[in-house]
Amino acid sequence: MLVAPLDANTLAKIANGICDNLLTCVIRAWDLTKPLLFCPAMNTAMWEHPITAQQVEQLRGFGYIEIPCVVKKLVCGDEGRGAMAEVWTIVEKVKAILSERDLPKQLIS
């Protein structure tokens, strides 16, 4: 599973086990033997808040794989860390994870 973008609200819900919509329910029921990748994306002030680091660490503790956010000009006009990783970065990470699991090549090309 790939969650891209993962906003601050949904990050907080997942980290705290809140299941109040389809996405959070599916994630809560996710088979932890299968990969779950997440791509944080939020305002720089939200990203830099100490609770965000705790929540990201909580997801990593579940075995989820972070594709880190990047620095660039955000929709709100701020420039800083918080933007979702570039699509090509996400695709390459997904391909690498699938390759590690020896899935047929037609699924990852």
Of the listed 25, 39, 69, 76, which one is catalytic? Answer: 76
Beta bridge partners of 65: 37
**76 tagged catalytic:** yes
Q: Supply the DSSP symbol for 84.
A: P
Residues ≥6 apart with Cβ < 8 Å to 6: 14, 38, 39, 40, 41
Task: Answer for the pair 35, 101: CB distance below 8 angstroms, yes or no.
Answer: yes
Instruction: Please list the active-site residues.
Output: 76
